[in-house]
Amino acid sequence: MDNTLLDNDRIAQDLSDYLEKEYGQYAHDCYWTIFEELRRELGYADYLGALERYRVKFMHDPRILRMANWLIDYPFAERLYPGAFEAVKHVAQWGTTAILSDGDAVFQPRKVARSGLSDAFGQRVLIYIHKEQELAYVERIFPAKHYVLIDDKLRILDVVKRAWGAKVTTVFPRQGHYALDADIVAAYPKADVEIERIGELVGIERGEFGGVRK
* pLDDT of 213 above 50: no
The total of structural domains in the chain comes to 2
> Which pLDDT score is estimated for 194?
95
Residues 90 and 179 reside in one and the same domain: yes
Judge whether residue 192 has pLDDT over 70: yes
pLDDT, position 60: 77
pLDDT tens digits along 132-144: 999 999 999 999 9
Entry pTM? 0.91
Residues 105 and 149 occupy one common structural domain: yes
Selection from 70, 73, 54 nearest residue 62 by Cα: 54
Q: Whole-angstrom Cα distance, residue 8 to residue 112? A: 12
| CATH number of the CATH domain containing 113 | 3.40.50.1000
Give the count of beta carbons closer than 10 Å to the beta carbon of residue 161: 22
Q: What is the pLDDT of residues 68-122, one digit of tens each?
A: 889 999 999 999 999 999 999 999 999 999 999 999 999 999 999 999 999 999 9
How much is the mean pLDDT over the chain? Answer: 93
Q: How far apart are the first and last CA of the chain?
A: 26
Residues 45 and 184: their CA atoms lie apart, in Å, by 19
In one letter, which amino acid is 32?
W
User: What pLDDT sits at residue 147?
Assistant: 96
Residues 130 and 109: their CA atoms lie apart, in Å, by 15
Give the CA radius of gyration of the chain. Answer: 18
- Give the distance, in angstroms, between the CA of residue 92 and the centroid of all CA atoms in the same chain: 19
Decide if 172 contacts 157 (C-beta within 8 A): yes
Residue 186's pLDDT is what?
95
Q: 72 and 163 share a domain? A: no
**Which of 23, 54, 76 finishes a domain?**
76
pLDDT of 20: 94
Q: Is 27 helix (H, G, I), strand (E, B) or coil?
A: helix
Rounded mean pLDDT, 4-20? 96
Q: Residue 65 sits in which domain range?
A: 8-76
Residue 182: CB atoms within 10 Å: 7
Choose one of 76, 100, 133: the last residue of a domain.
76
Quickly count: other Cβ atoms within 10 Å of residue 158's Cβ. Answer: 18
Query: pLDDT value at position 18?
Result: 95
In this model, does residue 214 exceed pLDDT 50? no
At 210 the pLDDT is 75
Contacts of 12 (CB under 8 A, 6+ apart): none
Q: Which amino acid is at 198?
A: I
CB of 197 closer than 8 Å to CB of 176: no
Examine the domain organization and report whether 53 and 96 are in the same domain. Answer: no
Taking residues 140-155, report their average pLDDT. Answer: 96
The last residue of one of the domains, among 48, 76, 104, is 76
CB 121 within 8 A of CB 100: no
- Check: CB of residue 78 under 8 Å from CB of residue 10: no
207 Cα distance to chain centroid: 26
Contact (CB, 8 A) for 74 and 14: yes
pLDDT of residue 57: 84
Average pLDDT on 29-47 reads 93
pLDDT of residue 30: 93
Q: Which residues pair with 126 in a beta bridge?
A: 100
